[in-house]
Amino acid sequence: MKTIRVSDVMTREVFAVGPGTSLETAARLFAQKRIHGAPVVDNSGEVVGVISVADLADPDRDYSDEGGHSIYFSLSNGWASVVSGSVDTYPGCVSDVMTRNVLTIQSDLTIEDAAARMLDLGVHRLLVLENNEMVGILSVVDIVRGLLDQRASAADA
Helix, strand, or coil (residue 129): strand
In this prediction, residues 64-92 reach a mean pLDDT of 47
- What CATH architecture is 6-156? Roll (3.10)
pLDDT 10s digits, 23-37: 888 888 888 888 888
Q: What value, to the nearest 5°, has the Cα angle with vertex 18 and ends 10 and 34?
A: 45
How many helices (H) and strands (E) in the chain? Answer: 6, 7
Q: Label residue 115 by pLDDT band (50, 70, 90).
A: very high
Contact present, 52 and 94 (Cβ < 8 Å): no
* Alpha carbons 68 and 54: distance in angstroms, whole number: 15
Instruction: Answer whether residue 145 shows pLDDT above 50.
Output: yes
pTM of the model: 0.72
With CA atoms as reference, report the closest residue to 39 among 10, 7, 68, 61: 10
Q: In the predicted model, what is the mean pLDDT of residues 106-117?
A: 95
Residue 74 pLDDT grade (very low, low, confident, very high; cuts 50, 70, 90) = very low
Domain spans in the chain, listed from the N-terminal domain onward: 6-156
